[in-house]
Amino acid sequence: MYGSDFDVGVFELASLVNNELLSLRVITENQFANVRTLAEKQRQNEFYLDRAEKIGEAISMLEGDLLLGTLEGSTLLKPLFVVYQHQILARLQEWRATHLDITAVLKAFLYRLRQVEPEARRLRAFAHFLRKNPDYQLPEIDSIQALPSWSSRFAGLRLKVHPDLSSSQTRESLVDVAKAIPAAKIIIIKERVAGHPIGDGSDKPVNVIQPKPVQLAFHRYLEAASSALKPLSAVSWKRQQQEFTELDDEAWLLYTIHAIQMLGKGPKGRLREFQTKRREAPRGHPRSGNIVVTDIELWKKA
């Protein structure tokens, strides 16, 4: 029951839009109805332009996302969507093209009406003057002492001067003019040759970044500390590694302290799962203020 009502409504809607566009098309192509005054013609044009804009809004609403989403989103409404697509969506492009043509004609008419409006006012004023003065006769041109004001509106003839090349005097003058013209700069445009790769193009430079020995040593020290069952001394571990014997103990200890501070032990630090302990040498004087670090121990939290 509801499906039949929907089909009938869609058919009537498509027929209404089509008939409305056809009616406006006939009106615009026949230059509207015959009216007597410019004001009536202008009001008539604005009326049909407003009517065309309303039809354009209606066409835009026919493909609204809400309606299409409702019809496409349910399998039960698929037969209704097929009818809507065949009767409405398939004809939207044609309706839009017709609507654009009609709107363009109406706007062109409105623009021309605004152009002829001043001239029409002058003609109406002159016609009104003749009705009030039926015996008015145009004066003879010879009897006019001063030119009327309307004659000053004439733009005059537009004259263009061309040299007479058949005259020898003109040719000589043109020769002098040609000599005074500076020579044109000749610019030679060189075509750039397309580049090509050197060799077969398969060899691409590869930059291999090697870590420094102290960086590699600290990385391996962290691996060893993560698997150690007790605190691991940084100095003792380094002395046991044969490949890092060239590293100075003080430099190694300084780098280890700095790396631990940079990596951090906070909630977001990379060493948050480790514990550290700093071993210090006894102070020579209680007020010296110097702290001598002799070793660092690192181990993983239990």
Q: Which of 132, 154, 178 is the last residue before a domain boundary?
A: 132
| Reported pTM | 0.36
Residue 275 lies in a domain: yes
Q: How many domains does the chain have?
A: 2
Inter-residue contact 103 to 52 (CB < 8 Å): yes
Q: What is the pLDDT of residues 162-203, one digit of tens each?
A: 777 778 888 888 888 888 888 888 888 877 777 666 655 555
Is the same domain home to 10 and 122? Answer: yes
Is the same domain home to 106 and 217? Answer: no
What per-residue confidence (pLDDT) applies to 97?
86
Neighbours of 105 (CB within 10 A): 20
Is the same domain home to 122 and 226? Answer: no
What per-residue confidence (pLDDT) applies to 248?
86
Residue 240 lies in a domain: yes
Q: What is the pLDDT of residues 94-126, one digit of tens each?
A: 888 888 888 887 777 766 666 667 777 777 788
Neighbours of 41 (CB within 10 A): 20
Residue 268 lies in a domain: yes
Domain extent, residue 274, equals 213-282+289-300
Question: What CA–CA distance (Å, rounded) separates 24 from 50?
Answer: 11
Instruction: Provide the 8-state DSSP code for 244.
Output: G
Is the same domain home to 124 and 25? Answer: yes
Residue 185 lies in a domain: no
Q: Which of 116, 132, 148 is the last residue before a domain boundary?
A: 132
In this prediction, the residues of the chain whose per-residue pLDDT falls under 70 are 1-3, 31-35, 38, 65-67, 72-73, 75-76, 110-116, 147-156, 195-205, 265-269, 284-289, 302
Inter-residue contact 99 to 55 (CB < 8 Å): yes
Is the same domain home to 128 and 226? Answer: no
Residue 169 lies in a domain: no
Residue 192 lies in a domain: no
Q: Which of 132, 165, 194 is the last residue before a domain boundary?
A: 132
Is the same domain home to 16 and 126? Answer: yes
What per-residue confidence (pLDDT) applies to 1?
47
